[in-house]
Amino acid sequence: MEFRQSEKTDADDIRHLFVNVFSESESEEEGELVANLAYQLVAETEESDIFGFVAKEAGEIVGCITFSRLRFENGPNAFILSPVAIQTKRQGKGLGQQLIKFGIDRLKESGVELLVTYGDPRFYSKVGFIPVSVETIPAPLKLNQPEGWLGQSLVSDTIAPISGASSCVSALNKPELW
């Protein structure tokens, strides 16, 4: 298994992975929604505002994670982990955790101080994320499931509250994603 940073030339393969994974686990509509998000992040986001990583085996992308910049009026160098997809037949074997840990290590090396994600606390707690409130880390849009708002400091054992509003990259700035 090869882990590496994603490239713009991976955009179509990444979109295909997300369509398949989310169509199988959720619905075709959800598959298209998340696949379009993944594609837009990879293909259209400024390079300074994104870190994407893929897992490849036998020339095929079998996993993908994306971290995009999360800006605060008065806050740390932060990124949000979203979306994540692991090929359905490879789920439950630790590949997602390995890929996320690989990505987190690269972000630490790049001086990122804070990570957030919006997802299943049971899964993301395995890679160091803890539940946080929007009072501690403001979300850029209204959360439909606030219990899924999670954070991880890359520089401290605690997460200091952040004051002021937050904003995300344009591909993620859609209420239906939150």
Residue-number span of the structural domain to which 118 is assigned: 2-177
In this prediction, residues 131-145 reach a mean pLDDT of: 96
What is the rounded average pLDDT for all residues in the chain?
Answer: 95
pLDDT for the residue 71: 97
3-class SS letters over the chain: CEEEECCHHHHHHHHHHHHHHHHHHCCHHHHHHHHHHHHHHHHHCCHHHEEEEEEEECCEEEEEEEEEEEEEEECCCEEEEEEEEECHHHCCCCHHHHHHHHHHHHHHHCCCCEEEEECCHHHHHHHCCEECCCCCCCCCCCCCCHHHEEEEECCCCCCCCCEEEEEECHHHCCHHHC
pLDDT at 77: 96
pTM of the model: 0.93
At 36, which CATH number? 3.40.630.30
Looking at residue 10, its pLDDT comes to 92
pLDDT (tens digit, 9 = 90+) per residue, 147-163? 999 999 999 999 999 99
pLDDT at residue number 8 = 87
Res. 166: pLDDT tops 90 = yes
pLDDT of the residue at 74: 82
Number of domains composing the chain? 1
Q: Which residue has the higher pLDDT, 48 or 8?
A: 48
Would you place residue 62 in the very low, low, confident or very high pLDDT band (cuts 50, 70, 90)?
very high
